[in-house]
Structure 1
Amino acid sequence: MRKLEPGRLIIASHNQGKIREIAALLGPYGIEPVSAAELDLPEPEETGNTFIDNAELKARASADLSGLPALADDSGLCVDALDGQPGIYSARWAELPWSERAVDPAADAGEVKVERDFSYAMQRVHDELLAKGPEAGRDAHFVCALSVCWPDGHIESFEGRVDGTLVWPPRGDRGFGYDPMFQPIGRKETFGEMDPGEKHGMSHRADAFRKLVEALIG
Structure 2
Amino acid sequence: MARVLVASRNAKKLKELRRILDEAGVSGIEIVGLADVPAYDEAPETGATFEENALAKARDGAAATGLPCVADDSGLEVDALNGMPGVLSARWSGRHGDDGANNALLLGQLGDVPDERRGARFVSACALVAPGAAAVVVRGEWPGVIGRKPVGEGGFGYDPLFFPDGGALSAAQLTPQDKDAASHRGRALRLLLPALGDLT
Taking structure 1 as the reference length, the TM-score comes to 0.81
Output the CA distance in 2 between the equivalents of 1:214 and 1:204: 18
Q: Does 1:29 align with 2:26?
A: yes
Give the aligned partner of residue 165 of structure 1.
145
Structure 2 stretches lacking a partner, 5+ long: none
Unaligned 5+ runs, structure 1: 1-5, 97-114
Structure 1 residues 3-57: Cα deviation after superposition (integer angstroms, max 9, x where no partner) = xxx5110001123332232232233412211001332344321111111100000
CA–CA separation in structure 1 for the residues paired with 2:18 and 2:93 = 24
- Equivalent residue of 2:110, what SS? helix
Q: Which residue of 1 aligns with 2:110?
A: 129
Root mean square deviation, CA, Å:
2.0
Q: How far, CA to CA, are the matches of 2:160 and 2:18 in structure 1?
A: 22
Q: CA offsets, 1:133-166, max 9 Å, x none?
A: 3447211001111100013473111001010011
Percent identity of paired positions between Structure 1 and Structure 2: 38
Tell which deviates more after alignment, 177-186 or 192-201: 177-186
- What is the TM-score normalised by the length of structure 2? 0.88
Matched, 1:17 2:12: yes
Larger Rg: 1
Structure 2 CA distance for aligned equivalents of residues 59 and 69 of structure 1: 8
| Residues paired across the two proteins, number | 193
* 3-state SS of paired residue (1:163): strand
Q: Stretches of 4+ moved more than 4 A in 1?
A: none
Q: Structure 1 residue 177: deviation in Å?
A: 1.1
Indicate the residue corresponding to 2:100 in structure 1.
119
